[in-house]
Structure formats: C-alpha cells, structure tokens
Amino acid sequence: MAQLSEIMNRDLVTVDKQASLRRARRILDQHRIRHLLVVDGKRLVGIVTDRDLRQAAPSSKSPLTISERQEFMDELKVLEVMSRKLITASPTTTIREAAKVMVSEKIGCLPVVDGNQLVGIVTQADLLEILVRGEQAPEAEDQA
C-alpha cells in the first residue's frame, strides 16, 4: 500500500510561534504556499494558513493608515491566530487514509510526524497530483 512517506514533502517551511503575522505572510508569499507549520523550537505547535492571516489582517477599508496596518501585522504574533487543533499522520499512514481524514476533517494539509519529530507535510495539492498522474490508491486497485 502506498504510504505518505512516498509522497510527503520533506522540504518543510516553518515559522516560530513568536514570529509576527507580517513575517508569516512574507514566508507564505515567498514559498507560494497556503499552510505554514508553526514550531516552538523543533516541536510542532500549530498551523497558520493564508486564510488565518487574511482574517486577522485589518481590512484595507479600515480607518487605519497603511503604516498602522503594517504595524498591527508586525505586533500580532502567529501564536495568537494559529490553529492549535493539530491533526497529524505518520509516514506509514496510507495515502487513502490520509485523504479520508482530510475530507472528513475539512482540512487542507496533514503534517507528518514520526514520534515527536515533524518529518513532512501532505497537502490537498499533493493528493490531486496523484490523481492527475493517473495513480490510484492501492485499495481502489484491489477493487478493480
């Protein structure tokens, strides 16, 4: 059976929980990603998404000036807006099981941990890429 260890992205992009929202935004934009893993040292403590940052940011229609909006984003910390409800998988989790969890929990990514160590991430885009390439999860092949 195909496992997450075969498809997970091991080139992890993380941010410290004390980082500013402005820094988190820059990292997301620079790496062209939507999910940013939040760490405290080497320990995974949360996830902050593009949506989290957009919702936390002052609206461009707010009475704040551009510099006041930037100052707000510099002062607000990632730990104040990150999701602490972490749903993770192990490297041996099957691709099909990971997809089921992501659909049932309505989440866009699964951090992959081995024991207490963060070792990878799998996103909806990774799973869609498998479909586009025409590969099926092993369970689907067994039913054919």
3-state per-residue secondary structure call for 67-103: HHHHHHHHHCEHHHCCECCCCCECCCCEHHHHHHHHH
CA angle 55, 49, 62 (to 5 degrees): 20
Q: Give yes or no for residue 144 having a pLDDT over 70.
A: no
DSSP letter for each residue of the chain: --BHHHH-B-S--EEETTSBHHHHHHHHHHHT-SEEEEEETTEEEEEEEHHHHHHHSPPTTSSS-HHHHHHHHHHSBGGGTSB-----B-TTSBHHHHHHHHHHHT-SEEEEEETTEEEEEEEHHHHHHHHHTT---HHHHHH-
What confidence score (pLDDT) does residue 130 get?
A: 85
Tell me if 109 sits within 8 A of 121, measured CB to CB. yes
What confidence score (pLDDT) does residue 141 get?
A: 47
Average pLDDT, stretch 109-131?
A: 91
Going by pLDDT thresholds of 50, 70 and 90, the confidence category of residue 142 is very low
Going by pLDDT thresholds of 50, 70 and 90, the confidence category of residue 135 is low
CA distance 135 to 144: 13
Q: What is the pTM of this model?
A: 0.81
What confidence score (pLDDT) does residue 49 get?
A: 94
The torsion defined by the Cα of 56, 61, 65 and 69, in degrees rounded to 10, comes to 10
What confidence score (pLDDT) does residue 140 get?
A: 46
CATH of domain 4-143: 3.10.580.10
Question: What confidence tens digit (pLDDT) does each residue in 27-60 have?
Answer: 999 999 999 999 998 789 999 999 999 898 877 7
What confidence score (pLDDT) does residue 8 get?
A: 94
What confidence score (pLDDT) does residue 136 get?
A: 52
The pairing of strands 35-40 and 14-16 is parallel
What confidence score (pLDDT) does residue 71 get?
A: 85
Question: What confidence tens digit (pLDDT) does each residue in 68-109 have?
Answer: 888 888 898 999 999 999 999 999 999 999 999 999 999 999
The domain locations on the chain are 4-143
